[in-house]
Amino acid sequence: MKICVGPTILSEPIPCIIINYLGQTVLQTHVTDECSTLDIAALNPGIYFVQLVLSKGLRSERLAIIR
């Protein structure tokens, strides 16, 4: 999965958290480039939320994995 945080220069890594529908953290990593690739192959099909902890606040997006 590719994550793009926008046309900005990252001065520090951005925490990225993937949470399942039960509210459990299933993947925690850092985005280090404007566009980074996350390996989500180990995640089961279902609904997840991807959270990026930005200096302006929390950005959350819904992620549906269907196989």
* Domains of the chain from N-terminus onward: 2-65 (2.60.40.10)
For the cut 90, the answer to whether the pLDDT of residue 11 exceeds it is: no
DSSP 25-58: EEEEEEE-SSEEE---TTSPSEEEEEEEEETTEE
Percent of the chain scored above 90 by pLDDT? Answer: 55
Mean pLDDT of the chain: 89
Pairing of the two strands 14-20 and 25-31: antiparallel
Mean pLDDT across 34-44:
90
Q: With contact defined as beta carbons under 8 Å apart, do 60 and 51 qualify?
A: yes
Q: What is the pTM of this model?
A: 0.84
Query: Where residue 35 falls among pLDDT bands split at 50, 70, 90?
Result: confident
Q: 8: number of CA atoms within 13 Å, CB side?
A: 12
